[in-house]
């Protein structure tokens, strides 16, 4: 009979500290109970051609929690970010290289073979991209924000990341990029970002498309400057 082993208890190798009491107190203080409210008037209707003034109540309701979760078998990728390394996984059977990493090869012929870890170069090519005029709160000051799917050199998949030091108007598919890891990495995908490795060339747009695009970018930059009073992303 095979002896069954229990996985625990855990042995802490290293860790970064956080103020657990502060977060617990914050959660208990907020707890989804409305903090404040306001009553407003604004136009509403089934279509933009049929609007009328309506009255609405807006609730300010804080909500947060401290989640504790594992990165599981791809933890080495995130640990690598703390070390300034870009890690991927390679299938020992077919040779496919994954970044973001996969613990098992997705090639049906390999029958979920376990992959091995490899360090990757910090270079790649833009496979696709989007320009965001609306971003999540922690990134709002960087708008207009370029989100790109970058195929890291030597890999067979694409890694999502933001782009910096580039005019959104000039982002293009096929652009070669340098990949960077934040100096104050926290072990999160947002630690990774890209900058152009060559002179970017704007994709072809009609005059109407270019006019609309520039108007949207100008409005976004004006909002960021008004809201944060900081230099906007160019």
pLDDT digits (tens, 9 = 90+) for 95-121: 999 999 999 999 999 999 999 999 999
What pLDDT was estimated at residue 177?
98
Q: Is the pLDDT of residue 49 over 60?
A: yes
230: confidence class by pLDDT, cuts 50, 70, 90: low
Residues facing 163 on adjacent strands: 146, 194
The answer to whether 93 and 60 are in contact (CB under 8 A) is no
In angstroms, the Cα distances linking 195 to 140, 171, 181, 198, 200 are: 19, 11, 11, 9, 10
Terminal C-alpha separation, the chain: 66
Is 70 or 134 the better-scoring residue by pLDDT? Answer: 70
Mode of pairing for the β-strands spanning 192-196 and 158-163: parallel
229: confidence class by pLDDT, cuts 50, 70, 90: confident
Mean pLDDT of the region 20-27: 81
For the chain, list the domains and their CATH numbers.
20-60 (no CATH), 71-120 (no CATH), 122-234 (2.40.50.220)
What pLDDT was estimated at residue 33?
73
Q: Name the phi and psi angles at 13, rounded to 5.
A: -85, -50
What pLDDT was estimated at residue 163?
96
For residue 209, give the 3-state DSSP assignment: helix
Mean pLDDT of the region 198-213: 95
Distance separating alpha carbons of residues 86 and 102, to the nearest angstrom: 14
Distance separating alpha carbons of residues 107 and 11, to the nearest angstrom: 34
Strands (E), 31-185: 36-44, 52-60, 87-90, 97-98, 116-119, 123-132, 145-152, 158-163, 176-181
Q: Is the pLDDT of residue 156 over 90?
A: yes
In angstroms, the Cα distances linking 3 to 6, 7, 13, 189 are: 10, 13, 27, 39
Distance separating alpha carbons of residues 47 and 32, to the nearest angstrom: 33
What pLDDT was estimated at residue 231?
55
Paired tokens of 103: 């613990």
Which residues have a Cβ under 8 Å from the Cβ of 208 and sit 6 or more positions away? none
What pLDDT was estimated at residue 138?
78
In 3D, which of 129, 127, 215 has the Cα closest to residue 166? Answer: 129
- DSSP label of 87: E
Q: Is the pLDDT of residue 57 over 80?
A: yes
Mean pLDDT of the region 82-91: 97
What pLDDT was estimated at residue 160?
97
């Amino acid at each position: 009979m095979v002896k069954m082993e229990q996985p625990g208890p855990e042995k802490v190798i290293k860790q970064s500290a956080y103020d657990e009491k502060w977060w617990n107190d914050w959660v208990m203080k907020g707890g989804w109970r409305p903090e404040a409210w306001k009553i407003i008037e604004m136009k509403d209707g089934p279509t933009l051609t049929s609007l009328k003034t309506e009255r609405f109540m807006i609730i300010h309701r804080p909500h947060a929690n401290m989640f504790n979760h594992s990165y599981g078998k791809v933890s080495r990728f995130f640990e690598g970010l703390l070390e300034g390394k870009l890690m991927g996984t390679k299938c020992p059977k077919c040779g496919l290289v994954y970044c973001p990493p996969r613990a098992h090869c997705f090639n049906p012929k390999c029958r979920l073979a376990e992959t091995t870890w490899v360090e990757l170069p910090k270079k790649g090519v833009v496979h696709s991209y989007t320009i965001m005029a609306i971003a999540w709160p922690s990134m709002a000051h960087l708008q207009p924000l370029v989100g790109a799917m970058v195929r890291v050199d030597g890999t067979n998949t694409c890694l999502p990341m933001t782009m910096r030091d580039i005019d959104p108007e000039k982002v293009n598919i096929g652009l070669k990029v340098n990949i960077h890891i934040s100096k104050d990495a926290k072990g999160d995908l947002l630690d990774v970002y890209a900058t152009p490795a060559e002179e970017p060339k704007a994709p072809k747009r009609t005059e109407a498309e270019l006019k609309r695009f520039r108007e949207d970018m100008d409005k976004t930059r004006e909002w960021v400057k008004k809201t944060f009073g900081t230099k906007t992303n160019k």
